[in-house]
Chain A
Amino acid sequence: ETGVTQSPTHLIKTRGQQVTLRCSSQSGHNTVSWYQQALGQGPQFIFQYYREEENGRGNFPPRFSGLQFPNYSSELNVNALELDDSALYLCASSPAGTSVLETQYFGPGTRLLVL
């Protein structure tokens, strides 16, 4: 196990609604990244938080937003849900002082279905 947990495991929403997904990392993992993985595709980087500040963002609109908390938990918020937002959402955390690409630990993901 990676020590990264995500909740909920599955979620069904309707178009236009808002959703909050949660991630809990190991103690000392002060970098967290969020990814969207559509069915049959590789993960796409959404954004990264380091010490509670966003420090990198992929090609996703502003309705995708996040928060990171001092207790090593984080949130991904998506407003005005669209059908194309249906995907597996993954968070990955990295320990302090390490290269993120070498030490990303992924959670099991939250599968979101937008109807």
Chain B
Amino acid sequence: QKEVEQDPGPLSVPEGAIVSLNCTYSNSAFQYFMWYRQYSRKGPELLMYTYSSGNKEDGRFTAQVDKSSKYISLFIRDSQPSDSATYLCAMSEYSSASKIIFGSGTRLSIRP
């Protein structure tokens, strides 16, 4: 079993829909949770960073962490075609990158 599981998709939704992306994990020691967006032929771009449990909102994006269920989510409101990309969750026990574990990514396509 992988430490971090992420549905690879692809996920296709119409423009304007609410998108829900999820990851589950097995290591209860994870404290730092990130979501990255990766466009084709580009490096990942950090979207959301959360420490411990709870919700965090930034514009159209909301990140949720449920440590009791070992489950994290990213919600995208009013989705746009420009949101079409691969979304990677990532998590770590420590604030150092040396222990960061990425999910395999979910491909998202927003239909105009």
- Chain A residues within CB distance 8 Å of chain B: 2, 4, 33, 40-45, 47-48, 55-58, 90, 92, 99-104, 106-109
Contact = CB atoms under 8 A, between A and B. Distances in A.
Interface string B29-53: 0001010000001111110010000
A40 to B, nearest CB: 7
A56 B92 CA distance: 14
Contacts of B14: none
A58 B98 contact: yes
Contacts of B46: 102-104
Interface string B85-109: 0001010100111111111110000
A96 B68 CA distance: 34
B97 A48 contact: yes
A101 to B, nearest CB: 5
B34 A101 contact: yes
Which of A42, A90, A102, A106 has the most chain B CB atoms inside 10 A of its CB?
A42
B49 A44 contact: no
Contacts, number: 67
A97 B65 CA distance: 26
B8 interface: yes
A13 B23 CA distance: 35
Given A101-B92, A106-B43, A106-B44, A92 B97 contact: yes
Contacts of A44: 102
A90 B44 contact: yes
B43 A100 contact: no
A56 B94 CA distance: 12
26 contacts: A2-B43, A4-B43, A41-B102, A41-B105, A42-B4, A42-B101, A42-B103, A43-B44, A43-B88, A45-B100, A48-B96, A48-B98, A56-B97, A56-B98, A90-B43, A100-B95, A100-B96, A101-B34, A101-B95, A102-B46, A102-B49, A104-B97, A106-B43, A106-B45, A107-B43, A108-B41
